[in-house]
Amino acid sequence: MGTTPTGTGTSAGTEAGGLPRAVAGGSVRALLMASVRGFALGLLAVTASVVLFVLTVVSISLIPLGIGVFTTPALIGLVRSYSSYRRLLAARWTGMELPASYRPFPHDLRKGVTGQVERCTVLLKDPATRRDLLWLLVDMTAGAVVALLAAGLILEGLFGLLLGAWLWKPITAVEDPYWFTFVPVGGWGTALIAALVGCGYLAAGLKFGPALLRVHFLLVGTVLSPDRQQQLEQRIDRLTETRHDALDSSAAELRRIERDLHDGAQARLVAMGMHLGTIEALVEKDPAQAKELIAMARESSAEALTELRDLVRGIHPPVLAERGLGDAVKALALRLPVASEVDVELPGRMEAPVESAAYFAVSEALTNVVKHAGAGRIWVDISYAEGSLRIAVTDDGRGGAVVGGGSGLSGVERRLGTFDGVLAVSSPAGGPTMVTMEIPCALS
């Protein structure tokens, strides 16, 4: 009786090489997708990049005539939007992060013609504008060649296969022989050789397509990314901005504490002192009224103590100092009127200033959800990875949250910026909303 050696048979769902057909098919699709994306990038390079470069250069040349003062800012804005879109494609298709480094506009720009001149001047002095224009020039030349090469190899390979099948006949009827690369196609034999060469092109396109796509974005990153000196300048500007924000926040916090003490506990303590003075005068003459005043003084002291505890909790919650960020956020969530779920994965504790900043950032984010989102449930995930504290606050509310315009999220961003933290908001209309915070720090 014959036996089949174990492991030598192939099932219907498995390739001969041992890979599942679904996996192999997915890999081929991914390789083909790289060529399609390269073709799309090449088309963008030879159309949008060329048009934007020509229009922007012409507009800049018209500045001495006055026309360019009005057209240049709008065109540079289009170029920046276009380059931001290409950065997004780089992140989505290859995972490459290409940071933008545009200088912010001054807050005191005037209106009218004078303001337009100032805006144009600020844009032209920004080194990022020159990098964008240089990138357009590189994109329409070397970038287009590299991007189209991936698709060109695939198309040339398919053409070779078609030649080997039947297409050589009508072509050689017009041009005999027809040169396909280095093969003079004039009959079935040379057509089959052309088909083999086409298979080589197809294999090269599939193998090197993702690499060519990455080379294209490396060219993009080389031109668009700021150099070391510019990165240091941006770092200095960022630190200066966050330092001012920290000072402003500290001053505002001190004013709040002073106001709360003056209007709350201090007023109650003064009233309690007046009651005690009256009690001292009435204790022998009118004991009943003195007892009433004693009860009022006791009530005032309890209220003053409660307000002092709330004030201390607002400065630095005791549970945060005693049990850490995770338990403090859980205690915060318990007081919310919305169902909340908190998931904490922290192998240790961070420094007190970082804990405090993270706690109040989460508190502000949760307050925004309760006030504006109309959510039925909130999820908070706190974790630590790769030297950073990561917090995600997600809700199933109406969405539409944005950073800026004096919103609560702007305050969160400023608070995190003091510690080099970043804030990201994903909030499409209709929800859900996810607010992600990340603070670089070390654990003890």
220-275 confidence digits (pLDDT tens): 888 887 666 655 665 666 666 656 565 555 556 566 666 656 555 666 666 677 76
Query: Could you check whether the bond before residue 432 is cis, i.e. omega within 30 degrees of 0?
Result: yes
Q: Which of these, 416, 332, 414, 424, lies nearest to 378 by C-alpha position?
A: 332
Spatial separation of the C-alpha atoms in residues 438 and 350, rounded to whole Å: 13
Spatial separation of the C-alpha atoms in residues 88 and 242, rounded to whole Å: 27
Q: Is 244-315 a domain of CATH 3.10.450?
A: no
Q: Provide the sign of the torsion angle of the four alpha carbons 54, 57, 61, 63, taken in this order.
A: positive
Spatial separation of the C-alpha atoms in residues 153 and 150, rounded to whole Å: 6
- pLDDT at site 259: 64
CB 440 within 8 A of CB 421: yes
Query: Using alpha carbons only, how large is the chain's radius of gyration in Å?
Result: 34
Q: Quickly state the pLDDT bin for 121 (edges 50, 70, 90).
A: confident
The reported pTM is 0.51
SS3 content of the chain, % helix, strand, coil (to 5): 70, 10, 20
Question: pLDDT at residue 331 above 80?
Answer: yes
The Cα-based distances of 78 to 71, 82, 112, 225, 387 in angstroms read: 11, 6, 21, 18, 37
What is the tens place of the pLDDT at every residue in 81-115?
898 888 888 888 887 777 777 777 666 565 655 67
Q: Selecting from 3.40.50.880, 3.30.565.10, 3.40.47.10, 3.20.19.10, what CATH number does the domain 323-440 have? A: 3.30.565.10
Question: pLDDT at residue 296 above 90?
Answer: no
- Tokens 């003075």 belong to which residue? 277
DSSP single-letter state for residue 386 = T
Tokens in use for 248? Answer: 């402003």
Spatial separation of the C-alpha atoms in residues 389 and 74, rounded to whole Å: 39
Ranges of each domain in the chain: 22-224, 244-315, 323-440
- pLDDT at site 8: 36
Q: Which residues contact 381 (CB under 8 A, 6 or more apart)?
A: 343, 390, 391, 392, 394
Please give the full DSSP string across 219-236, using - where no structure is assigned: HHHHHHS--HHHHHHHHH
Q: Quickly state the pLDDT bin for 12 (edges 50, 70, 90).
A: very low
DSSP single-letter state for residue 175 = S
Residues constituting the chain? 444
